[in-house]
Chains A and B, each alone.
Chain A
Amino acid sequence: KAGVTQTPRYLIKTRGQQVTLSCSPISGHRSVSWYQQTPGQGLQFLFEYFSETQRNKGNFPGRFSGRQFSNSRSEMNVSTLELGDSALYLCASSQGQNFARSNYGYTFGSGTRLTVV
């Protein structure tokens, strides 16, 4: 079955612009989570959506927002881009159950590499 698809793979934007990233989860997965990866910081949790509702939110400013559609596809938006927003943005999908009961972790996409100049 198809994996998690993120588009686009690469983006270059200018400071002050806004950007929208897309994530299509594995068929049947209802939970989509977003992470930011920067060198030395590991992966930092942005937010998680389940059945079109934001269930969890990380410690990022309000410039970072997201949404999920009825087909479970999710988008992430960053407004007023700053140089420090340059990172690899990863989304991950799962069935949405408790990790321990599902006995497996997320399935990640390959990410969108955002460069802000």
Chain B
Amino acid sequence: DQQVKQNSPSLSVQEGRISILNCDYTNSMFDYFLWYKKYPAEGPTFLISISSIKDKNEDGRFTVFLNKSAKHLSLHIVPSQPGDSAVYFCAASASPQGAQKLVFGQGTRLTINP
């Protein structure tokens, strides 16, 4: 039962263009969403997050959009740079009381072509 799904295993984007990574979830109790970036042989690195009370959060080149009615979130990277090539995981939390448990998607491998 995959509660968080990233349906695109891979995505290839030209340098300078916009990268859009998508994530769908099924559990309506999720109230906090995060994106992580992972390079080979390293642990995931926190990128950006969004609370369910918002529909958009922006941090530099990264913007996350949340559509609660569709149970869908997306990460936009603009402009895309070669260093953005990595695996991106979305994650969701239904623990407003503080317990630290994230449900992750399967990941999307983003390749930025020069």
Contacts and interface: CB of A to CB of B under 8 A. Distances in A.
Given A42-B107, A100-B32, A56 B99 contact: yes
A23 B100 CA distance: 16
Interface string A77-107: 0000000000000101010111110011111
A40 interface: yes
A106 B100 contact: yes
A42 B96 contact: no
Given A94-B100, A98-B96, A110 B49 contact: no
A43 B32 contact: no
A64 interface: no
Interface residue tally on A, bucketed by range: 20 to 34
B44 A43 contact: yes
B44 A90 contact: yes
Interface residues of B, number: 30
Contacts of B32: 99-100
Contacts of A97: 98
B51 A43 contact: no
Interface string A16-45: 000000000000000101010000111111
Nearest to B52: A100
Contact of A33 (B41, B101, B106): B101
B43 A90 contact: yes
A109 B43 contact: yes
Nearest to A55: B99
A55 B95 CA distance: 11
A110 to B, nearest CB: 5
A66 interface: no
A92 to B, nearest CB: 7
B100 A56 contact: yes
B93 interface: yes
Contact of A105 (B46, B101, B106, B107): B46
Interface of A: 4, 31, 33, 35, 40-45, 48, 50, 55-56, 58, 90, 92, 94, 96-100, 103-111
